[in-house]
Amino acid sequence: MKTLITNVDVFYDHALRPGELLFDDNQILAVGENLERDAQTRILDGGGLALLPGLVDTHVHLRDPGHTQKETIATGTAAAAAGGFTTIFAMPNVLPFPSTVEVMKEYLAHIEAESKIRVIPFATITVDEAGAKPVDYEAMKEIGITRFSDDGVGVQSNAVMDQAMKQAAQAGVLFSCHTEDMNYRKPGASVHEGQMAKANGWIGIPSECESEQLKRDLKLAAKHDLRYHADHISAKQSVDALHEAKANGARVSAEVTAHHLLLEENDVKGTNWKMNPPLRSHTDRMALIEGLENGDLDFIANDHAPHTAKEKARSMEQAPFGIVALETAFPLLYTEFVHNQKRWSLRQLIEWMAEKPAELFGLEKTGKIAPGYRPDFFLADLHADTVIDPETFLSMGKNTPFAGWPSVVCIDQTWSQGKRVFQR
C-alpha cells in the first residue's frame, strides 16, 4: 500500500522544507510538494512536525540473549524507535557469543523474531571475546556477516591482533574496536584519572588506556590495509592519532558518543555517570567536538548500555560501566548544539547520526530522505518544552545521567521499512 504523509517539514536535499512524503513498504517513492496520489493511497496528516531520516547507531548493547534482566531485543529496539533510530548494530557481548556460524544463525533468527527495527549484529573478533583466537571471518562472510567487534574489551595480545587483522583484511571485512590497554587500568578504576578522581578518592583511568592501544591498532590496520573503525573515542590523544592515521591514508573511521560530547569529568555525581571509556577533561571534550567538526571523528554512535537499578546501586568501584542512550541522544544533541549554542546545523547532526554511519558501514539506500531509499524516518516536534524522564523510557535500563535535562525535541512517531513502529 502507498502512504502519503502531508503537512510536514521534510528534511531532504540537506534542508528542512515544507512538503510531503510518498512511500510504500519497500522504498520512498517521492518527496516534495503537492505530490500525486490515487484513490488507493493512504493519506496521513503529519501535524506540522519535522520529518527526518531514520537514525543509524553502530554501537548498541541489546543484552539478549544472556543478560535479559538488563534489556531484551524487543525492549531495546522499542527504545531505539522511540529515539528516532531505524537501524542499529548490536554488539556481540551476549551469551552465547556469536563466534561461530551456527551460533550466529540462531542469533539472526532471534533478532528477526523480536526486533521492531533493522538490527545488524556484529560477530566477535576473537572466539568468545577471549582475545586468544580469531574467528573464521570467511565463514561468517558467507552468511552475510561482515562486521566484527570484541566490544567491552580490547584485544590485549599484539600477536593475536596482528593475525586477526591479516585474516580479516584477506576476507574484506570491517573491525569495530574498543581499545583499552589493561596495563593502564587498575582494579576498581571507575572515572578519568584527573582532579575529580583525586578529590573523591576514586581510582582513575588515564587517557593512555585508550589511546595507546588505538595507536597499535592503527599501525596494524595500515600494515594490512584493513577497514578499521574506532569505538567511542574519548581522549584528545586518540583524536590526534586518528588525524595522523587519516593523513597517512589509512582506511579508518571513528565514532564519538553523545555523553562524551555533552559531559566531562567534573559532571560526575555517581554511578550513572560511570561509563567506559570515562568522561574526561574539558580539554578532551573540546577536542572531541572539534574532531567531529573537522572530520578526525566521523559520526556519532552512543554505546547504549542498560543495567539494572540494583547493579547501578553498587559503589563506584563495583558498579558496572555504561548508560542508556537510544532515547536521549538526538533530543539532547539537537537541544544543546543546534538550538542552544547554534554551533551545529540540523544538516550536520543528521549527517553525523544518519548519513555518515550508513555510508561508512556500507548500508545501501539508508540515511536520507530521497526516492529509492528505505522508508525509514521519524516525525518530531523541534520546538517542544520537555525534560528527560527515565520513567518514560521504553528501555528496561533507566541508568542515565541526563534525568531532568531540558529538551526542545519530542519524537512523535517512527517508521521503519514503511511501517509505523513507534507512536507517542
d(CA 399, CA 325): 9
Q: Residue 214 contacts by C-beta under 8 Å, 6 or more apart in sequence?
A: 177, 179, 230, 233, 238, 241, 242
**8 Å CB contact between 378 and 8:** no
Which residue in this structure is represented by grid cell 537499578? 309
Q: Concatenate the DSSP letters of all residues of 39-75 into one string.
A: TT-EEEE-TT-EEEEPEEEEEE---TTT-TTT--HHH
Burial label for 340, CB within 10 Å (0-12, 13-18, 19+), is exposed
**8 Å CB contact between 276 and 322:** yes
Q: Residue 6 contacts by C-beta under 8 Å, 6 or more apart in sequence?
A: 20, 43, 44, 45, 46
Strands 386-387 and 406-407: antiparallel
Reported for 159-167, long-range contacts at CB under 8 A and 24+ positions apart, including other chains, are 160/126, 160/131, 160/132, 160/133, 160/134, 161/216, 161/217, 161/220, 162/220, 162/223, 163/134, 164/125, 164/126, 164/134, 165/220, 165/221, 165/223, 165/224, 165/226, 165/228, 166/224, 167/134, 167/137
Inter-CA distances, 107 with 79, 114, 151, 162, 317, Å = 20, 11, 17, 28, 33
Beta-strand runs (E) in 221-290: 227-230, 252-256
d(CA 319, CA 305): 13
Which amino acid is it at 139?
Answer: A
Strands 252-256 and 227-230: parallel
Known catalytic residues are 303
User: Which cell numbers hold the place of 99?
Assistant: 563466534
